[in-house]
Structure 1
Amino acid sequence: MARSRNIKPGFFSNEHLAEVDFATRLLFIGMWTEADREGRLEDRPRRLKMALFPADNVDIEKMLADLEHLGFITRYTVGSFKAIQIVNWSKHQNPHVKEAKSIIPEMPVAEPCPVKTGASMVQAPDEPGSFPADSLSLDSGFLIPDSLPPSPAPAMVENLFPKFWKLYPRKVGKDKAEKAWAKLKVTMALYDTMAAALAKQVLTPEWTKDKGQFIPHPSTWLNGKRWEDEIPDYASNVHPFPSRRSSSEPDFDDQTWADDLGSAL
């Protein structure tokens, strides 16, 4: 007879169960409803197939073997009777106190207890659960908490947007720019990369012509990750002095002349 059982959120994040396919995980849940109050059920793959997967083409025998290999169930025989024990059943479920006692023989050799010496793997038949059932894992006695522990708070990062806004040459759409900036989660290293790219882009003809009307909006620049553009080094191609001279004038293309001029100041 099928019974209502508990299922905790931790079941779905169990990394060991993730090693088996979806149907095997569903079989494991279904076996809880077929097990008695001690977590035992008959080892009858065909019967489980009809009870849990009547309309599906699944290999119950292989699925049971996978669950046993991972340590979630133990298959055993007493005489000619084949049975399955769900490992650490009382840690996962709290059967009702009035639920009928098991008629399935227990395993002839007790398996080592993963929690502490002398602790029973099953709940005493006439005692209600003294602690809430938990979820399944192969770690720490096959238990994991109901929810994952919160991740450590990330290190505080300075809000660098004001520096970017001050640096960007076209100050339009500040609200949109701030939203785009927030999505990027800018670190100091990324900000330095952006600043270096802007230092080159402000010298390009596309940004200097027509009083900068072709400079992209800051939100567009951020959303497009324009700091990753390949930018020619225009600064190195701009000569600091006009190339003009008469026969009596110094050679303006001669850098030594400029150096001499600077030392005379």
Structure 2
Amino acid sequence: MRARNIKPGFWKNEDLVDLPYEYRLLFIGLPMLADREGRLEDRPKRIKMELFPADPVDVDDGLNELIDRGFLERYESEGVKVLMISKFAEHQSPHHSEKKSDLPGKDGFAAVKEPEKSSGSPKRGREDTGDKPDSSGEKNEEGEGGNREPTVDLPKDHGEPTVDPQNSGRRNRPDSLIPDSPNPDSLEKTIGTSASDAPTQAELEAEPPEPSGKNTYPEAFELVWRKYPKRPGSNPKNKAFRAWRARVKDGAAPADILAGTVRYANYIRQTNRQNTEFIMQAVRFFGTSCEYENEWTPPEDPGPNSPHNGFGNIDYSAGLKREVRDGEANF
């Protein structure tokens, strides 16, 4: 099998959603079995053993459903039954070192000139020689006519792939898969800020540049920092700012973060934990756990009438004998 990728539009493809899920999985797996031209042998039993070895899936029926919807083509050429994935070359970027197709196209095999290697830069097959393949059956430079060579141009030696890459102007993607989505908007809506674009914990902990002068941080953060309770030991301001900024980018209101900071400072003061190691680092307080959203309600004062007060005023020695001999009870 070959590594292929799948486009987001697959999941909302209007022609695929009506198919059973196993036929949609079949369509995902076919490009992994196909060669660089999107061809594979039309052998339903073999395909089933590759993709569904332990599942009771009718692969032949699934292939027919995909053919009826235009996702596959089925033909026979040179005595070989072939399945071809529609628009495969339009949507895939096979690696340049991937083996060329051994299966015939719809018009069979044709002679293809090898790239010339005598010049400084290699050329691609027919498009650079200007010669047409000899299909008369007579012997030519390449050997016998109909020599079971692929009908596609050969790639450059260690050069570019024979199909246009999909990564132009966008993020790098893994090599290949398909399908062509009838809902193009579904793909465009996925481009932009996503969960993968959000700051990670590693990014938060990365060492940002030191402030080069006064007023480096925004006033909203400076106000929060002044309200945050001081703690001994490490509490780096630059990392706290990065976490605070990430929460603001996620949609948190600076005023809500400030209010949570004030509640936390009051909690620390009322529990007599000022300037102790019990104060959490600000990078955690403003981090992904959003500690500023907690209520931070201090424990209530039990009051003078609480049954838990006054233990220090009780004389626990009352009723005990002052002098006793060994072996006697002291009461």
Higher helix share: 1
Given the two structures, how large is their TM-score scaled by the length of structure 2?
0.37
Given the two structures, how large is their TM-score scaled by the length of structure 1?
0.46
